[in-house]
Structure 1
């Protein structure tokens, strides 16, 4: 029978969004299970032998005896994608490369793939796998923007779900906004496409069956299409209510303009949403206009964030420094804004210009692009390929690092937790948790996270005790506080680590020699 090995390579650096803080000698952990590999496995026809590896969890088997190797990845995985591709090709394997980076930079991946797959796979899967089985494949396939209702139920039975804190579900692709720096709209488009509700519920059933009680809806803007989102939220609420004490909590990505829609916030809360990841980006209004982020200008930012938290939903904020209107004064203004806000979890980074974005094209015309995006991506959030307008690049990076480190000082973090609790509604009730947690293979994650934070020093240990004690006064806020603490642990792990030691010892295989 034909055989395929599907791989999600390791990123080339630790980050805010990994879970390296939990890594052990026998394998790693991820904050969110990898949806791409599990979904691709769902497209593989019956009768094929399928292997799957998420390299953040376990090493790739370079000597796997398979017919085809399928590699996917983002810009932060570029180097590892190439290394693995060349290693497998040297061993006589036929290599397919696809995913976001291949779609955005096909000319970069083309030399390293026997078969290059760009765009989305739903419309071309049947042809692709038929060609592979027949041994008469093309050297490139382009799926374009697909009808995602054709997407299969992901093969979570092939994925190490016990090593992921949250499951993953996609209900839409595409975002109608046109943020200048965003590359997602370049490979997913600005017209949002939706799955059927029945399809979404079947995926939820499967995620629930394999044990997930936290699910990340990975859509880039889940709530932007209001009428569709309302209908889905009602179904999610009914589905979750039927789970009894086995209900799940949801996390998703949304934009700040949801704050003016009280009905939508209520529906999100009733469906079980505990957290939104939001691109807050900056409080500099000129920078928001420059970036095309007008949805953040609809109402005062502090008012919008307060409204969301006031409905019992936390905000995980993305913060960017280095817009053309950002001066040295912007850093102190941002620091003060954050410390006055109910935003415990912030991902602070420097503006970059991904290839294909409007920002890249503008700065290229202005002669302000310095190197390809992957040279910055492999260094994490504190590197950039742009030449800033109002300060030297070294100054921009140094000040951004300083702000990030300040945000995760225990006293600073504790203050923002207290701000969060002050805004969180006292009447909100947390999602019931099942009593037999000892049977959950993820049950050890939280104690390990809390021990790690406490081991960082007396101030960190006191911070943990203080915020948990304060959170007990508003039990509905505890799931959000635990989320914030888990991401605090990873953020501190990343910010405290030696910048030259970014690989995960014991997890990644030795460098591949093609």
Structure 2
């Protein structure tokens, strides 16, 4: 009778814009930027008579000698290479391997050969059946999950997690998104009907993370503000909870769509609650490409002006940026660069358009004969690299797309260009706030291990090069005597170090491309003086 499980979150196959690989690459212990909510939530569904342990491979190595009979593995497409290796090694040792999560749910035929038990969909309503079957040694090879009421979702088992080596905690207040962006697989996995936790649940989870020492928490919703009335109730509860914290206030980050920029009261409520960082899928300044992708919420507005509204309310934006849409010609790389330099967004997560399985984009590319082998994409040496794609572009070759992304990435993150966008943010910060953000500065407290490592890592910024040293000095001078602004700016600097680490792999970082035109026809129209804006 099986009564023990070891649950593993595999390391990403390639560093991401939001990862923490730069810590280990810089000589520190392995850390992660955001604590993993998936393995802690699944652990909470394990019956009390089972022994359960968890492993986040971003922090610690997998124990292949673990005595558990059942090995649980989760993960996204960006983790599949390591997911597969871990599964194969445990199966070689005679363990029963159970795999679930987003990639297993959306690409089951790719994961199936590596799993004894395959779980598709969400687990809350089927967990009891799964573990009863495991206990009785009569488990099925496949279980189909549902889209459960999130009021049934248990309190994550953060007591099992190495919290001292995770920078940001995580709380999920909803699942699903009603939008229908062609390239996004969220609605295929979690549905278009958004489901929500009650405010009391959210506060209970925040209490747990606060007691564990977290002072920065990611609200890991796919689109936190899409239902305004629900978002308001949640934000009001978070605001009131945060106001009573006696050992330092909490700052929050989340994902949302740009359409709330026109809702002054919602932006103010976000700021009051402590939301200081948001990810927005900006994608492209091309209206034609936005319409093609069915990104309707971004169409017909001035994206730089909308972004500025967040900055004015003390919120720093990280933007999604995609190239390779059907309407993207050779000029898209220069257009994206010019657009970015108008904004107060220091970090853009630049990447090629990819068609995940189960998305409308995948179906359209397959019907048009423009899909490279998806299996090839998921069996490469570096899955998840932002410059790789399974889409054959309409107006350029894949090699030209790669060269354009490389040119754009190197120019966007040239230290002087990055400094220019940082200064845009610093100059516009907080002009619409109705309170003094300095009043919310945390009091003195014992720092966790990850926070001490973060402070030491930041000191290495000036060693990156002479341009980076100048950037550090100018930004430091601009934020002097502005204590509320400093954590946001330092957070962006850490993200910059992470992406520079990522770009240094596979020879992607090539500073000689800065101040040049893209290396394919037709000749670019951007001049060196346009590119080197920060001077």
TM-score calculated relative to the size of structure 1: 0.94
Return closer, same or farther for 1:139/1:305 CA change in 2, 3 Å cut-off.
same
1:487 is aligned to: 495
Match of 1:336 among 335, 338, 356: 338
Match of 1:388 among 380, 389, 393: 393
CA distance in 2: counterparts of 1:452 and 1:254, whole angstroms: 32
1:5 is aligned to: 6
Deviation per CA, 1:79-132: give whole Å up to 9, x if none.
211111111111111110000000001111112111111100010011111111
Kept after mapping to 2: 8 A contact 1:22/1:448: no
1:459 is aligned to: 467
Distance apart, 1:163 and its partner CA: 1.0
Return closer, same or farther for 1:498/1:396 CA change in 2, 3 Å cut-off.
closer
Deviation per CA, 1:418-447: give whole Å up to 9, x if none.
111121125641473444344432332332
2:521 is aligned to: none
| 1:246 counterpart SS class | coil
1:279 is aligned to: 281
Return closer, same or farther for 1:207/1:431 CA change in 2, 3 Å cut-off.
farther
1:359 is aligned to: 361
CA distance in 2: counterparts of 1:431 and 1:166, whole angstroms: 22
Kept after mapping to 2: 8 A contact 1:375/1:385: no
Kept after mapping to 1: 8 A contact 2:438/2:482: no
2:409 matched to 1:407?
A: no
2:443 matched to 1:441?
A: no
1:304 is aligned to: 306
2:402 is aligned to: 397
Looking at both structures, which has the greater relative contact order when contacts are Cα pairs under 8 Å and sequence separation is at least 6? 1
Kept after mapping to 2: 8 A contact 1:251/1:274: yes
Match of 1:29 among 31, 34, 47: 31
CA distance in 2: counterparts of 1:317 and 1:360, whole angstroms: 23
CA distance in 1: counterparts of 2:266 and 2:139, whole angstroms: 47
TM-score calculated relative to the size of structure 2: 0.91
Unaligned runs of 5+ in 2: 510-535
Deviation per CA, 1:279-298: give whole Å up to 9, x if none.
00000000000000010125
Bigger drift between 396-405 and 274-283 goes to: 396-405
RMSD of the alignment, in Å?
1.8
Return closer, same or farther for 1:463/1:347 CA change in 2, 3 Å cut-off.
same
Distance apart, 1:349 and its partner CA: 0.8
CA distance in 2: counterparts of 1:245 and 1:298, whole angstroms: 44
2:200 matched to 1:195?
A: no
1:507 is aligned to: none
| 2:78 counterpart SS class | helix
CA distance in 1: counterparts of 2:439 and 2:118, whole angstroms: 44
| 1:50 counterpart SS class | strand
Distance apart, 1:244 and its partner CA: 3.3
Bigger drift between 289-298 and 492-501 goes to: 492-501
1:101 is aligned to: 103
Distance apart, 1:303 and its partner CA: 1.3
Kept after mapping to 1: 8 A contact 2:314/2:430: yes
